[in-house]
């Protein structure tokens, strides 16, 4: 018997598949497009087991769909710009481009080992000018439409990487690349107005969107839509205060001071709780609030400035860890527009400049406000009760802050209203008096895309001293990234040091001008790569519109759970922008999204070189073969599982493949040597008694059904289990055949044990039919493409031999793929071109079932019965059982519950 040597089988078939060009799809002529997408990998160096998990396992899905008759497009590319390349290059004293190109070459070769159906004619590599030209083009379109703009705000600054980061790249106050504490700096940079799409990016509720709930909820939370109101508080000046006196109610219009010395200033405050406005007894401004320069009285300015200085020096993390509230009184007062009361204005860390208006009012129904007020002895006034009776308790006991909605008290004309009604009524009044209005606030901020680094897409702008920021003309794209640049981070963009590159003429006035030295965030590049995959060589436009219409939206998109907030949301934003450009005519770019899990090292920790727990896929391929890795990764657990790599587990599936191999060897050699009657057993002879055996048929159809449905539902692990089960069953038949034969032999002739293995093969003929074996191989083919191809071709050889002898012709199973390439394919019937087996639902249903018998809900017996047994029949059988009788005795069942083909339960 030939031995199963995966390396031999796999290299041979990979070569053959490549030569014949069986894989890849003609995007133009495809009739049944299916776009299978996996997040493009970063060109980081070596392919690791995570890449296998992402690509090789999804390849199972792709091959399955292909056998089902779809034209599956499964492209690969590389996310190649960005900090890791730059940092690695600095460390190794290389150029980022050289480092990246080398990695791409290595990874491309490693990808081949997977045996995937990737389309190498449609590769997108983001660091090539032919790709990033279109980044620049998109940027210019955004500029035209006011979606891209230059702005200056407090931004996330990473002191180690020396660049600005987007909010989504800050993880718990730290840089997502290097982990350094993020500082807030006021920096002028390019933004994308993603907030224009905030409302559209909100996922609709309870939709039949096939995206994970965690992504939908996560994005909606991040967008953070809040409905509330903006309220204007007039600031009372020192002069006024002197007249009005402390604590005295300021009558309406007293703040309407028109004289020169009393400039009127307004503080805008956002709140979602207008219902507590009557209880607003102080205002809190963020330390960076710009209005402070206008309202702080001179005698307070030292203290205020000191506090501003201290909080400006704090990083985000420090601010967060300093949970204890701090702040200082500004010396200014403002008027609560609804109550007319004069209240103090404070500044404090806990008011954030980045949210709402950077100012809030403090009241007795917010824990933070209460904590702050208590510390600084600011009076509080509860204005909400849960019910009338609780009022006194709430006022006296500020330990328990009531933050829910309730009934208003001490709130003038609004007293007695519920929060919900009062909110509307108060906003209405504020609007009438022009002291406020309803407003919707989002947590989502505009996306900062400027990076003060080298390895990225140059922003296509020319800064002219006369004309300002002038967009590069479309015909001058791409603005190529120069190679010879000192790219070590110095706090200013490295491109600024490339003097020759920087110097240009202004396209508008023709005068001397300079290029924009900043580059784009890498997330810009990968926000639209899946469009480019469709048309990577297009020189006139980012992609062909008609082609996108045909292939988009992506049918299924696999990727990591960590891309919930950044990548997948940005891609949605780009898609909506493309829709506005009339490039696409749909709203969402992927019909279905599946998050994959993470494979940890054998020690249950994240794989890392420093830990020494990295499983090298190339090594595993050598020992067990790609088929085993694919199968193991599919089998390890649910696809979103986070689980360690188990060296024993891969040996388990390797063992399984060896058994498949063994079965194949036995079965084919048998058919080869068997006579005509035997060879024709199986599907070609429906009268064959073996085929007719209901149990065999049932197992086959049941397995087809299970594997089909499980792959469709991304439940690869149970699909593999079903195949294992069927193999166990089939080998059980072989085993039984062997036993029968040995018994027969010893009975007939007492031949001493010289039976060699090829001899015993006779018995298989009567066990495993050709149909069973073929179907088994087809079902296994997406998981283990190489070994199944090998065994399949072996089988075909035998078929053609019998054909040469003038026996019946094999039916042409090549009817699914009509591509001309396939027609002249030398291995004219690769197993991967076969149609996916179909099952008969009736046969998938078991004929014989085990009926469970319960007494009072407790299992007491199991009865093997025919499916479809009637209740009367079941009752009769069950009552005849001793085990049941023991529990029922002569009691009369009060009630009998009968579930068809499942159980019968006697209640006594």
From residue 686, give the alpha-carbon distance in Å to each of 689, 731, 770, 802: 8, 22, 12, 20
Q: Which is nearer to RNA, 217 or 263 (CB)?
A: 217
Interface residues for RNA in 641-660 (CB under 7 A)? 641-643, 646, 648-649, 651-653, 655-656, 658-659
Determine if 20 is a binding residue for RNA (CB under 7 A). Answer: no
903 near RNA, judged by CB under 7 A: yes
HEC assignment per residue over 303-367:
HHHHHHHHHHHCCHHHHHHCCCCCEEEEEEEEECCCCCCEEEEEEECCCCCCCCCCEEEECCCCH
Angle, to 10 degrees, between the axis of helix 567-580 and the axis of helix 129-144? 60
* Residue nearer to RNA on the CB measure, 273 or 515: 273
Span interacting with RNA, options 69-77, 632-640, 670-678, 782-790, rule CB under 7 A: 632-640
Binding status of residue 45 toward RNA by CB under 7 A: no
> Using the rule CB under 7 A, which residue among 565, 569, 594, 629 binds RNA?
565
| Interacting residues of 515 by C-beta distance below 8 A, sequence separation 6+ | 458, 461, 462, 463, 479, 495, 501, 502, 503, 504
Contact 771, 761 (CB under 8 A): no
Instruction: Write out the binding residues for RNA, residues 524-563 only, by CB under 7 A.
Output: 561-562
Contacts (CB under 7 A) with RNA, residues 810-849 = 849
User: Distance between CA 211 and CA 183 in Å, rounded?
Assistant: 34
Kindly determine how many residues on this chain lie close enough to bind RNA according to the rule CB under 7 A: 93
Stretch touching RNA by CB under 7 A, among 299-307, 316-324, 514-522, 812-820? 316-324
Q: Judged by CB under 7 A, does residue 488 bind RNA?
A: no
- CA pair distance 48, 39, nearest whole angstrom: 15
Q: Does 860 bind RNA (CB under 7 A)?
A: yes
Q: HEC string of 248-294?
A: CCCCCCCCCCCCCCCCCEEEEEEECCHHHHHHCCEEEECCCCCCHHH
Q: Which is nearer to RNA, 509 or 642 (CB)?
A: 642
Q: Which of 507, 865, 883, 885 binds RNA (CB under 7 A)?
A: 883
Q: Which stretch binds RNA (CB under 7 A): 123-131, 239-247, 320-328, 500-508?
A: 320-328
* Of residues 416, 442, 246, the one with CA closest to residue 344: 246
Candidate residues 94, 180, 209, 352; the one interacting with RNA per rule CB under 7 A: 352
Nearer to RNA, 226 or 547 (CB): 226
| Range 648-666 burial, b when 16+ CB lie within 10 A, else e | ebbeebbebbebbbebbbb
Q: Give the C-alpha separation, 557 to 591, whole Å.
A: 8
Q: If binding is defined by CB under 7 A, does position 3 make contact with RNA?
A: no
Give the x-and-dash track for 360-399 against RNA (CB under 7 A): xx----x-x-------------------------------
Q: Following DSSP, what letter does each residue of 798-852 receive, concatenated? A: HHHHHHHTT-PPPP----S---HHHHT-SSTT-GGGSPPP---HHHHS-SEEEEE
d(CA 476, CA 461): 11
Q: Cα separation of 549 and 583, whole Å?
A: 9
Q: Which of residues 706-735 bind RNA (CB under 7 A)?
A: 715, 717-718, 720-721, 724-725, 728, 731, 735
Q: Would you count residue 222 as binding RNA (CB under 7 A)?
A: yes
Q: Give the nearest distance from C-beta 723 to RNA in angstroms.
A: 8
Residue 415 CB, shortest distance to RNA, in Å, is 20
Rounded CA separation 592/518 (Å)? 35
Interacting residue with RNA among 45, 482, 601, 637 (CB under 7 A) = 637
Segment near RNA (CB under 7 A), from 103-111, 185-193, 579-587, 852-860?
Answer: 852-860
* Position 601 contacts RNA (CB under 7 A): no
| Sheet of 503-505, strand order | 468-471, 461-464, 512-515, 503-505
Closer Cβ to RNA, 540 or 895, answer by number:
895
Q: Give yes or no for a contact between 233 and 269, defined as CB atoms under 8 angstroms apart.
A: yes
**Quick one: which of 12, 26, 186, 224 contacts RNA (CB under 7 A)?**
224
In the complex with RNA, which residue's Cβ is closer, 286 or 874? 286
Residue with Cβ nearer RNA (115 or 327):
327
Closer residue to RNA in complex, CB, 160/907:
907
Map the footprint of RNA across residues 130-189, applying CB under 7 A.
167, 170-172
* Least separation in angstroms between CB 273 and RNA: 5
Task: List the one residue from 207, 261, 858, 890 that touches RNA (CB under 7 A).
Answer: 858
Contact 814, 864 (CB under 8 A): no
Which residues within the stretch 246-275 sit at the binding site for RNA (CB under 7 A)? Answer: 270-273
110 binds RNA (CB under 7 A): no
């Amino acid at each position: 018997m030939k031995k199963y040597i995966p390396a031999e089988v796999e290299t041979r078939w990979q070569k053959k598949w490549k030569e014949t060009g069986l894989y890849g799809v003609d995007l133009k002529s495809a009739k049944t497009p299916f776009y299978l997408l996996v997040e493009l990998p970063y060109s980081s160096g070596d392919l690791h087991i995570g890449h296998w998990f992402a690509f090789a396992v999804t390849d199972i899905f792709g091959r399955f769909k292909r056998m089902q008759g779809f034209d599956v497009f499964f492209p690969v590319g590389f996310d190649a710009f960005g900090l890791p390349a730059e940092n690695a290059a600095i460390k190794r004293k290389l150029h980022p481009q050289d480092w990246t190109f080398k990695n791409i070459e290595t990874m491309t070769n490693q990808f081949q080992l997977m045996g995937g159906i990737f389309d190498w004619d449609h590769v997108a590599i983001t660091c090539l000018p032919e790709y990033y030209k279109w980044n620049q083009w998109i940027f210019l379109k955004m500029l035209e439409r006011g979606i891209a703009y230059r702005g200056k705000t407090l931004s996330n600054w990473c002191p180690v990487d020396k660049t600005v980061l987007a909010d989504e790249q800050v993880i718990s106050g730290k840089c997502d690349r290097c982990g350094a504490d993020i500082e807030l700096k006021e920096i002028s940079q390019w933004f994308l107005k993603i907030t224009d799409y905030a409302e559209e990016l909100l996922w609709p509720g309870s939709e039949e969107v096939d995206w994970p709930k965690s992504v939908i909820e996560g994005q909606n939370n991040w967008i953070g839509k809040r409905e509330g109101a903006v309220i204007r508080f007039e600031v009372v000046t020192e002069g006024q205060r002197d007249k009005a006196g402390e604590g005295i109610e300021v009558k309406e219009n007293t703040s309407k001071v028109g004289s020169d010395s009393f400039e009127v200033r307004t503080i805008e405050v956002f709140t979602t709780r207008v219902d507590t406005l009557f209880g607003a007894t102080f205002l809190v401004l963020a330390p960076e609030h710009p209005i402070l320069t206008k309202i702080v009285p001179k005698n307070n300015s030292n203290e205020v400035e000191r506090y501003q200085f201290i909080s400006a020096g704090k990083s985000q993390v420090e601010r967060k860890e300093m949970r204890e509230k701090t702040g200082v009184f500004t010396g200014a007062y403002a008027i609560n527009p609804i109550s007319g009361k004069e209240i103090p204005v404070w500044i404090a860390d806990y008011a954030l400049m980045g949210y709402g208006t950077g100012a809030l009012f403090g009241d007795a129904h917010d824990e933070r406000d209460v904590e702050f007020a208590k510390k600084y002895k600011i009076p509080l006034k509860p204005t909400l009760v849960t019910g009338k009776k609780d009022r006194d308790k709430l006022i006296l006991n500020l330990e328990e802050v009531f933050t829910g909605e309730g009934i208003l008290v001490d709130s003038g004309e609004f007293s007695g209203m519920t929060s919900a009604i009062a909110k509307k009524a108060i906003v209405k009044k504020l609007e009438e008096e022009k002291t406020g209005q309803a407003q919707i606030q989002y947590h989502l901020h505009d996306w900062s895309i400027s990076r003060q680094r080298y390895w990225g897409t140059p922003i296509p702008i020319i800064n002219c001293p006369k004309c300002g920021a002038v967009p590069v003309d479309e015909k001058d794209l791409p603005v190529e990234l120069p190679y010879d640049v000192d790219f070590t981070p110095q706090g200013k963009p490295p491109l600024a040091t490339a003097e020759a590159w920087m110097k240009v003429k202004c396209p508008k006035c023709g005068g001397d001008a300079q290029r924009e030295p900043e580059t784009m965030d890498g997330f810009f590049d990968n926000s639209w790569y899946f469009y480019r995959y469709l048309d990577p060589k297009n020189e006139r436009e980012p992609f062909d519109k008609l082609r996108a219409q045909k292939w988009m939206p992506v049918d299924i998109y696999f990727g990591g759970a960590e891309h919930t907030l950044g990548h997948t949301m940005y891609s949605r934003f780009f898609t909506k922008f493309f829709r506005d450009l009339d490039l696409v005519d749909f709203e969402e770019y992927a019909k279905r999204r599946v998050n994959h899990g993470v494979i940890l090292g054998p020690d249950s920790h994240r794989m890392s070189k420093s830990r020494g727990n990295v499983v090298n896929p190339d090594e595993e391929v050598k020992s067990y073969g790609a088929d085993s890795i694919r199968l193991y990764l599919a089998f390890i657990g649910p696809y979103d599982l986070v689980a360690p790599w188990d060296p024993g587990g891969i040996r388990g599936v390797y063992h399984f493949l060896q058994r498949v191999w063994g079965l194949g060897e036995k079965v084919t050699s048998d058919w080869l040597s068997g006579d005509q009657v035997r060879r024709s057993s199986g599907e070609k002879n429906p009268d064959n008694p073996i085929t007719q055996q209901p149990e065999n048929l049932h197992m086959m159809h049941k397995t087809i059904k299970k594997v089909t449905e499980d792959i469709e539902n991304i439940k690869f692990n149970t699909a593999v289990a079903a195949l294992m089960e069927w193999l166990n069953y089939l080998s059980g038949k072989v085993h039984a055949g062997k036993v029968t034969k040995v018994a027969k032999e010893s009975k007939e002739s007492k031949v001493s044990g010289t039976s060699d293995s090829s001899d015993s093969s006779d018995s298989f003929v009567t066990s495993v039919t050709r149909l069973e074996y073929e179907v088994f191989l087809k079902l296994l083919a997406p998981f283990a493409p190489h070994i199944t191809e090998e065994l399949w071709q072996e089988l075909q050889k035998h078929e053609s031999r019998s054909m040469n002898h003038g026996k019946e012709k094999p039916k042409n199973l090549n009817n699914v793929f009509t591509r001309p390439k396939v027609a002249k394919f030398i291995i004219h019937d690769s197993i991967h071109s076969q149609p996916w087996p179909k099952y008969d639902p009736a046969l998938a249903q078991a004929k014989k079932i085990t009926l469970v018998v319960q007494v009072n809900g407790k299992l007491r017996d199991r009865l093997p019965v025919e499916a479809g047994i009637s209740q009367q029949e079941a009752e009769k059988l069950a009552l005849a059982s001793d085990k049941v009788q023991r529990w029922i005795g002569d009691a009369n069942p009060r009630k009998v519950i009968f579930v068809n083909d499942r159980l019968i339960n006697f209640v006594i």
